[in-house]
A and B are shown apart, each in its own frame.
Chain A
Amino acid sequence: MKQSSAAGRLATLRLLAQRFAFLMLVVSAFALMILGKADIVLVEQTRVLVVDALAPMLEAMARPAATVARVTAGVHELANLRAENARLREENARLMRWQTVARRLETETMVLHQQLNVVPDPDPAFVTARVIGDLGSAFGHSMLLAAGSRDGVRKGQAVMSGEALVGHIAEVGQRSSRLLLITDINARIPVVIESTRTRAILTGDNSARPRLNYIVGNPAISVGDRVVTSSSGAAFPPGLPVGVVVSVGEGGIRLEPFARRHQLEFVSIVDYGLGGILPFERSPPDRRRRGREE
């Protein structure tokens, strides 16, 4: 009798302890949210450390996934060979016309540059990195890259895929870094409408199509206008293609980014020697120049 009451008391105690532990965990979750919001260096360092530790594993997992994706893409391409061929032929004809225009403009620009003694834009240094993590989530749009501070990656550098802007570096670890996409809710990119030179800020909202905000003046922006980065705030080099305007209706002016998120396997982290969207931590090590590499 005595024994059973002791056991019962022990069970009650254990239940109480469990409840208390659960409550403590809830409290610590809230504490973490407040800490994270306060932007403490320690929190960021912890994040970076954990991701760095996971990076080799993620990289190992990303490779077979890339192979599978390549095979799937291959099958898909085979199935659409005819249609794709016709489309490409049409596009080729259109591009040939453009090439003629571009050649003429190039000579013209060269002559003008010579006459005006224009100082040429510097060749950017760059690092190419594999995408090892892509958390598709409605709550944040970022990717993990397999290059970190030891490869010369620094906070705030622009990240490009081909010629299109993908985003910027938000966190840097030893061997990994986090790329914040232009569609993320925290992303703000100074841009300019290519044809009218109207300045604006591109604001992500976790949807596939970011929005143009803080448009200078009251210009007519129409669907199909190309949007490129502006040099405002010396965050990004001017003229990197960002996207094209797809809607100007009630939901604000929205862009379709040129970079296709699901096709990214490798990205270039580009260093134009600018301040970046966030202050740099230290000076860049010597690296290859893009112009010489090609």
Chain B
Amino acid sequence: MKPSVWVRMDTWVRHLIPATATIFLLLITVVPTRLTVFADIAPMLPLMGVYYWAIYRPDLLPAWLAFAIGLLGDIVGGTPLGANALVLLLVQGTAAAQRRFFLGKSFTVTWWAFGLLAAGAIALNWLLVSVIVGRVVDPAPVLFEYLMTLCCFPLLTWVLARTQMAFLLDV
């Protein structure tokens, strides 16, 4: 039996949640919090979003969406166009290709793998921005940003997992 219009619409809206949540994470990073720590360096929340959905629902956050979100991040953040887009695209690609390895593994393993992937992602971002700008970007804040991202990962994963449980359990 074909599902009714309302059911299909409901499913469709639910399927938009991963992308919306990741864009929302991007916008949160941009909001001026006026906290001393966050003002200079904020954790890379969209990176975590892309990583999480690439593992658990790669069908709902495909590569082109990761690319688009990265591009939006470049535009809003004023960083060189395309750098963030490429980084998020590669993170999505890598995580989605290795997702069989993650499914059913403990949280520590996911966190550890995220640490590796995020290190690669931030290093690539640093390299790209340095090449595009034509000068070496100070690596100290980059390292700090990485550590901050790593520390925020458990909290954000918990939030995203609750979101997935609440909206996407059976669609």
Quick one: which of B100-154 are within 8 Å of A by CB?
125-126, 128-129, 132-133, 135, 137-138, 140-142, 144-145
The interface bits of chain A over 66-101 (1 if a CB of B lies within 8 angstroms of the residue's CB, else 0) are: 101100110000000000000000000000000000
Which of A43, A142, A207, A262 interacts with B35 by CB under 8 Å?
Answer: A262
A-side contacts of B137, CB under 8 Å? 138-139, 185, 205-206
A-side contacts of B64, CB under 8 Å? 21, 25
Name the residue on B nearest A209 (C-beta). B138
Quick one: which of B47-85 are within 8 Å of A by CB?
63-64, 67, 71-72, 75-83, 85
Stretch from A126-134, A221-229, A280-288 that touches the partner: A126-134
Quick one: which of A30-73 are within 8 Å of B by CB?
30-33, 35-37, 43, 46-47, 50-51, 54, 57-58, 61-62, 65-66, 68-69, 72-73
B-side contacts of A30, CB under 8 Å? 82, 86
B-side contacts of A199, CB under 8 Å? none
If A30-B86, A138-B145 touch, whether A208 touches B31 (CB-CB below 8 Å) is no
B31 with A61: CB separation less than 8 A: yes
Most buried by A among B80, B128, B145: B80
A135 contacts B by Cβ under 8 Å: yes
B78 with A140: CB separation less than 8 A: yes
Expressed in whole angstroms, the Cα–Cα distance for A134 and B36 within the complex equals: 12
B78 with A32: CB separation less than 8 A: no
B38 contacts A by Cβ under 8 Å: yes
Q: Do most interface residues of chain A lie in helix, strand or loop, or is the interface mixed?
A: helix
A263 contacts B by Cβ under 8 Å: yes
Name the residue on B nearest A36 (C-beta). B81
A186 contacts B by Cβ under 8 Å: yes
A143 contacts B by Cβ under 8 Å: yes
A-side contacts of B86, CB under 8 Å? 26, 29-30, 33
Most buried by B among A58, A68, A135, A180: A135
A144 contacts B by Cβ under 8 Å: yes
Which of B30, B77, B135 interacts with A185 by CB under 8 Å?
Answer: B135
Name the residue on A nearest B64 (C-beta). A25
Q: How many residues of B contact A (CB 8 A)?
A: 48
B-side contacts of A21, CB under 8 Å? 63-64
A-side contacts of B77, CB under 8 Å? 135, 137, 139-140, 142
B89 with A29: CB separation less than 8 A: yes
A271 CB to nearest chain B CB (Å): 22
B-side contacts of A137, CB under 8 Å? 41-42, 77, 79, 145
Name the residue on A nearest B86 (C-beta). A29
B42 with A136: CB separation less than 8 A: yes
Quick one: which of A238-265 are within 8 Å of B by CB?
261-265
If A29-B89, A205-B138 touch, whether A143 touches B75 (CB-CB below 8 Å) is no
B34 contacts A by Cβ under 8 Å: yes
Which of A22, A32, A138 interacts with B93 by CB under 8 Å?
Answer: A22
